[in-house]
Amino acid sequence: MRGYDEASYGNGMADVYDDWYADPPGTLECIATLTRLAGTGRVLELGAGTGRLAIPLAAAGLEVDALDGSGAMLDRLIAKPGGAAVHPHLAGLGGPLPSGPFSLVFVAVNTFFGLPSAAAQQAAFHAVAVVVAPDGRFVVEAFVPDARHEGDRIEIRDLSADRVVLSVSRTDPATQLAVGQFVDLRDGDVVRLRPWTIRWATPDQLDEMALAAGFTVEHRWSDWAGTPFGPDSVNRVTIYRAANTTRS
C-alpha cells in the first residue's frame, strides 16, 4: 500500500482501538499464561498497542517493556490507569528492541503479520534472539491462513443510524499479502480512513524462521487456554524456546 509505514495502523486506529478490540475472547487466559511463562523475569511485548496486555502484566508485578510503532497508541497506554508502570518504546516490530535479557518476549493476536515481508519477519526473529534470556521464550499468536483469507472483499463492520464502517481489502496469495482500509463514514464528519496491511505466514514457515534464529517449538496450542492444536485449528499460540541464541 503506497504511503503505508509502521506507524500507519496505530495512528489510524488509536482513537477507536479500545472500543473495537478492548476485550477479545481469551484475554484472561492470555494474561494468566503469559504471567506463568514469564516467571520472575522481564517481559517485552511487541506491538503493545494501548496496553490491553502490558498493563495487567505490570499490575501482576512483572517488569514490562512495551514496544509499538505508533506514538498515538503508546500515548493512550501511558494515560491509562496503571500505564505508568509500563516502560514504553517507540519502534516497529523489527526494532531496535530494548536491551535484554527478557525471560519472555511475546506478540499477540496477528500483530507479527504486520511485518511486511518474509525477510522482515525473519529479521524480527533474529532481533528477538539477541535480547531474549538464555532458555527464554518468544510467544507468537496468529491466525492459521487458509482459503478464507483470499480474495478481494467489501464488508460492513458497523452500521448505525449515523455511521457506517466498511472493511475493504485486497489479497495476493502469491505474496501472502493483504492490504485494506476501514472506511469510517459518520454523518456530518469527514471520511476517516484507517489502513492496515498484513503479510501472513503458515505455522511451518514461522517455525523455519524460528529455527534459523536459534529457537525450537516448545508448545503449540489453538488458544491461550492450551487447547491442543490440530488440522481444524483456525488460530495458533506458539511458544518458541531459545537455544544457542546469539547475543551482543
- Compute the average pLDDT of residues 149-166: 91
> Rounded to whole angstroms, how far apart are CA atoms 219 and 224?
11
Instruction: Name the residue among 58, 57, 48 with its Cα closest to residue 10.
Output: 48
pLDDT at residue 151 tops 50: yes
pLDDT-derived band at 243, boundaries 50, 70, 90: confident
- Region 45-52: what's the mean pLDDT? 97
When pLDDT is averaged across residues 69-78 and rounded to a whole number, the result is: 97
Residue 245's pLDDT is 45
Q: DSSP letter at 138?
A: E
Percent pLDDT > 90 in the chain is 88
Cis peptide before 134 (omega within 30 of 0): no
**CA–CA separation, 204 vs 247, rounded Å?**
25
* Spatial distance between the Cα atoms of 149 and 164, rounded to a whole number of angstroms: 23
Angstrom distance (rounded) from CA 85 to CA 166: 36
Q: Is the pLDDT of residue 235 over 60?
A: yes
The pLDDT mean for the chain works out to: 94
pLDDT higher than 80, residue 9: yes
Architecture of domain 147-198: Single Sheet (2.20)
Q: Do domains 8-144+199-242 and 147-198 have the same CATH topology?
A: no
- Name the fold adopted by 8-144+199-242: Rossmann fold (3.40.50)
What pLDDT, on a 0 to 100 scale, did the predictor assign at position 140? Answer: 98
Q: pLDDT at residue 208 above 50? A: yes
Express each pLDDT in 79-107 by its tens digit. Answer: 999 999 999 999 999 889 999 999 999 99
pLDDT at 34: 98
Residue 152 neighbours by CB distance under 10 Å = 10
Residue that the C-alpha cell 482459503 belongs to = 147
Confidence (pLDDT) at 28: 96
Structural domain spans, the chain: 8-144+199-242, 147-198
User: Is residue 244 over pLDDT 60?
Assistant: no
Per-residue model confidence (pLDDT) at position 248: 36
Alpha-helical (H) ranges within 22-53 are 27-38
pLDDT tier, 41 (very low <50, low <70, confident <90, very high otherwise): very high
Please check the confidence at residue 246 and state whether its pLDDT lies above 50: no
At 166 the three-state DSSP class reads strand
